[in-house]
Amino acid sequence: MRVQQIMTSPALGVTPDTSIATALRLMLDNRVSGLVVLDAQGALVGVVTEGDFLRRSELGSEKRRSWWRDILASPARKAADYVHDHGRRVADVMTGKVISIAPDTTLEVVANLMLEHGVKRLPVVDDGRVVGIVSRANLLKVVAAALPGTEPGTADDRAIETAIAAELERQTWISARYITARAQAGAVVLTGTVFNDEERKAARVVAENVPGVRSVADQLLWVEPISGTVIPPAN
């Protein structure tokens, strides 16, 4: 799937000279947590987000330093912090270094960029123009839509057992021969052996992710590999 299939378009935008009051009202009225910042030609010059407004004189949350950090801070750094905490224009608080993506970027790349750079949204730019914005919320909608359903009457027990076995076979954390899945009307019972609690959880997740599975009963035996102690299932 590509960004252009899930992005929000058009992206709400402001200019660097837009007042902070106007930008905040635009965000609140439209229930968004960030805006793109565009110059007079419509080119992307930054983003402004809810996080940019957390250190503000109105909240009493201006940036404060310990006495020794205050001594080390340059006058230019102190002046820049004052502008951010007290400024009245978007240019005073916005983030100027922006990571942007193309409309045909894959969702895998988008997710990795967000995680790597700690950002919640990415502007989508095509031929120098902002055509949309993709946020974590857009990605979560894709995840929610892809999760298997549990509607009654949709289970094919043999297909469920085959799918669980195939997924276990693909994994390297345990041999598939140690776990058996049996399904009846979508209710799966896992039996066999695991060697730590994480393998137990992972086996349950494998079963839960197969379409048509309505419930998973864990009857796996946990064998501690060093001592050989057998820990029975909790249920």
Q: Round to whole Å and give the CA distance between 64 and 56.
A: 11
Say yes or no: domain 3-145 is CATH 3.40.228.10: no
Q: Round to whole Å and give the CA distance between 150 and 136.
A: 25
Fold that domain 157-231 belongs to in CATH: Histidine-containing Protein; Chain: A; (3.30.1340)
Residue 155 pLDDT exceeds 70? no
Q: Where in the chain is the domain with CATH 3.10.580.10?
A: 3-145
What pLDDT is stored for residue 148 in this prediction? 65
Instruction: Give all strands (DSSP E) within 17-158, no chain letters.
Output: 34-38, 44-49, 121-126, 129-135
What pLDDT is stored for residue 6 in this prediction? 94
CA distances (Å), origin 134, targets 101, 163, 225: 9, 33, 46
pTM of the model: 0.70
Q: Where in the chain is the domain with CATH 3.30.1340.30?
A: 157-231
Q: Round to whole Å and give the CA distance between 104 and 158.
A: 38
| Tokens coding 200 | 């137990």
Please tell me the least confidently modeled range out of 150-154, 194-198, 200-204.
150-154
Q: What does the pLDDT look like over 109-136, one tens digit per residue?
A: 999 999 999 999 999 999 889 999 999 9
What is the per-residue burial (b if ≥16 Cβ within 10 Å, else e) of 149-167? eeeeeebebeebbebbeeb
Q: Which of 139, 110, 104 is nearest to 125 (CA)?
A: 104
Q: What does the pLDDT look like over 59-95, one tens digit per residue?
A: 887 777 787 777 777 888 778 888 888 889 999 999 9
pLDDT band with cut points at 50, 70 and 90 for residue 170: very high
Q: Is 114 strand, coil or helix?
A: helix
Q: List, in order, residues 6 or more apart from 108 with CB less than 8 Å away.
A: none
What pLDDT is stored for residue 149 in this prediction? 60
What pLDDT is stored for residue 191 in this prediction? 93
Residue 224 pLDDT exceeds 90? no
Q: Round to whole Å and give the CA distance between 47 and 98.
A: 7
Please tell me the least confidently modeled range out of 109-123, 153-167, 198-212.
153-167
CB 14 within 8 A of CB 22: yes
| Tokens coding 212 | 């048509």
